[in-house]
Chains A and B, each alone.
Chain A
Amino acid sequence: MIPLIAGVTLRQVGRQRRMTMLILLGLVPVLISLLFRLTVEPIGNDYIQFSTGILATFVVPLVLPLTALLIGTSVLGQDIEEGTVAYLLAKPLARWKVIVAKVIAGWCLTYAVVLLSIVGSGGIVLFGEDAISMVPAFVIASAGGSLAYIVVFVALSLRFSRSLIIGLAYVFVWEALLAQFISGVRFLSVSAYTVGIADGLTDVEMEILDGTLAFAPAIILLVVLVAVGTWYSVRALTRYQIAERV
């Protein structure tokens, strides 16, 4: 059941125009990296500085949450909006399977875009450098980050009809703006968890990341968020009612 629902969702969301936009967004850091590589003659650890900047301050806090937001709010939100959720609910099917399938589909799509961004930009800038080891660190960390964001946005789409706007506020106001001024926000920020995990997975010294979450709390908080978010979504879908709407 899970592969079936996930497959239909991939087909349904993957064909949307927003996927093209997201792929273009994912290509922006790749293009910037290409320009950097072609036009700048780096000195010392400029490669590392630049790549860390692109990955930790552009891809993870912007490309990743925006992609996850647009995909996460539509994997189930589109079914709710269009009424096709009835085909899933009017079946002898455990609700957790629906949520797991939707999360997997959203995760695959989000991760594909983020992977393109990380591998593309990191590979271009750090190719042939020792610091290339930070790329797999971000690849692994963003897998966790993508999952957490998708779980959050699927839950949001079940709770609010205007989940996209609320999600945008979360990404831009909470994670991007408040996180800069209030250090405590990093404990409730998926991008902070992602950067913390990436930092913990590589030996490359990334100065820009000083003061981020340590590896262990980042992992723990991410796992807790995924578990709580999934539990909430299963509960919300179990209680979900299809009201008359024409």
Chain B
Amino acid sequence: MTTETSTTDRTPEATSRPNGAAPVIGLAEVSKWYGNVVAVNDVSFDIGPGITGLLGPNGAGKSTLLHMMGGLLRASSGAVSILGEPAAGNPEVYRKLGIVLEREAVYGSLSGWDFVRMNAKLHGLADPDAATRRAIEQVDMGHAQDRLTGGYSKGMKQRIKIAAAIVHDPQVLILDEPFNGADPRQRLHMIDMLRAMARAGRTVVFSSHILEEMERLGDRVLVIVSGRLAASGDFRAIRRLMVDRPHTFLVDSTDNRRFAQALVGDAAVTGVELEGDRLMVRTNDYTRFTLEAPRIAQGAGITVRELAPSDESLESVFEYLVAGVRGGAGEAS
């Protein structure tokens, strides 16, 4: 498996592929715009078997990309393929593809069983009852299969939607924010199920704006920011990329002025700022700074009351990645 990590938006292979074989999902120079608004901007990547996560803030273009991968939305330019076939305008592709959209849409007047069975029949399956039973078991919804889906909780709707999407045992499964509304137990169950599909050689692509979900599930991660591919690689590489960016720490100690003087000499520290009682320290080496700062404090006889990164929100991480993309940044691994 390739674990290449890059902050460029051009053709970082998200996975390896056999010699000359078409990727399971392939995007080549794909853009999507609505009038003057660019939702996806010149994105290229390939996805192979296993689990791939699309990580990015809300409005980054993840859903637009998934809709295009799922053939429900046409690219304004570029090509999207599923198993070597064009994704859009090609209903036959759904024999091998299942898709779960973010919207909470179910036929509320149907029971869970009838809803999944309807999907099985629309796929033209030979034994829709057996397929329905298997899919409902897979999402652990047997206990509620006879209730109307209109009365389901958000998490239950999500699971019955997944059952409907996997009823034909697709080779590729695309899920848009699948964990929204799921409680921790449901979330773990879903993760286990998707992992089992990946082990069976299936291709699972999901989107999320939550880093922890990527950590648990995303073997490979594509970071989407402002409609562009900001980075790709395995989760550890992506996290390293996020950690190794410049950080600002907010420090509170028994003597901030002396502590600031002591820190200035350290190679990991790129700047200090003392404003009244507030000490802000900038570093470009997160790991080294968090190891060295306590030692420096101890050496100077200073007690550190608080040392916390001030910009650890995912948004600030994405801001950094966006700056990298706009600056045409190179590698970061």
Point out the residue from A4, A11, A86 that lies within 8 Å of B101, measured CB to CB.
A86
Beta-carbon nearest neighbor of B122 in chain A: A91
Contact between chains at B122 and A4 (CB < 8 Å): yes
Counting CB contacts under 8 A, is A1 at the interface?
A: yes
Tell me the smallest distance from the CB of A120 to a CB of chain B, in Å: 28
Question: Contacts A8-B110, A244-B67 known; A87 to B73 CB distance under 8 Å?
Answer: no
Task: Indicate if A15 sits at the interface (CB-CB under 8 A).
Answer: yes
Q: Mark A202-215, 1 if CB is under 8 A from B, else 0.
A: 00000000000000
Q: Does B1 sit within 8 A of A, measured CB to CB? A: no
- Once the chains are docked, how many angstroms separate the CA of A30 from the CA of B276? 85
Is there an interface contact between A88 and B122, defined as CB atoms closer than 8 Å? Answer: yes
B99 within 8 A of A: yes
Q: Apart from A12-B107, A87-B105, what 9 extra A-B contacts exist at CB < 8 Å?
A: A83-B104, A86-B103, A87-B119, A90-B72, A90-B94, A90-B99, A92-B124, A241-B73, A241-B74
Q: Is the Cβ of B164 less than 8 Å from the Cβ of A245?
A: no
Interface pair B107/A243, CB less than 8 Å apart: no
CB distance from A95 to the nearest CB of B (A): 8
A82 within 8 A of B: yes
Q: Roughly how many angstroms separate A83 CA and B104 CA in the complex, as a whole number?
A: 8
Cβ of B72 and Cβ of A92 under 8 Å apart? no
In angstroms, Cα B122 to Cα A94, docked, is 11
Selected A-B contacts with CB under 8 Å, 19 pairs: A5-B122, A8-B118, A12-B107, A15-B109, A82-B103, A83-B101, A84-B106, A84-B107, A87-B119, A87-B122, A89-B72, A90-B71, A90-B99, A91-B123, A242-B101, A244-B64, A245-B103, A246-B63, A246-B103
Bitwise interface map of B from 62 to 105 toward A, beta carbon under 8 Å scored 1, else 0:
01100100111110000000000000010111110111011111
Within 8 A of B (CB), among A2-23: 4-5, 8, 11-12, 15
Report which residue of B91, B95, B99, B121 has the largest number of chain A beta carbons within 10 angstroms of its beta carbon.
B91
Residues in chain B near residue A4, CB distance under 8 A = 118, 121-122
Total interface residues on B, CB under 8 Å, equals: 35
Residues of B within 8 Å of A87, CB to CB, are 105, 107, 118-119, 122, 164
Partner of B89, one of A5, A8, A90, A238: A238
Tell me the complex Cα distance, A132–B89, Å: 52
CB distance from B239 to the nearest CB of A (A): 27
Taking a contact as CB atoms under 8 Å apart, the answer to whether A92 and B67 are in contact is no
Indicate whether A182 reaches chain B with its CB closer than 8 angstroms.
no
Residues A86 and B118 in contact in the complex (CB < 8 Å), given A93-B91, A244-B63: no
CA A93 to CA B95, docked complex, whole Å: 10
Give bound CA distance, A95 to B164, whole Å. 20
> With A86-B101, A244-B64 as given contacts, are A8 and B107 in contact (CB-CB < 8 Å)?
yes
Residues on A close to B: CB < 8 A?
1, 4-5, 8, 11-12, 15, 82-84, 86-95, 238-239, 241-246
* One of B64, B94, B103, B121 near A83 (C-beta < 8 A): B103
- Nearest 9 pairs of A and B residues by beta carbon: A83-B105, A83-B103, A244-B63, A242-B72, A91-B122, A84-B105, A241-B73, A92-B95, A92-B94
Q: Closest CB of chain B to A71's CB: distance in Å?
A: 16
Given contacts A83-B101, A91-B91, A238-B89, contact A243 B67 (CB under 8 A): yes
Best-surrounded residue of A11, A86, A87, A90 (most CB of chain B within 10 A): A90
Residues on A with beta carbons closer than 8 Å to the beta carbon of B99: 86, 90
Pick from A91, A95, A246: contact of B94, CB below 8 A: A91
| B-chain residues with CB within 8 Å of residue A93 when the two chains form the complex | 91, 122
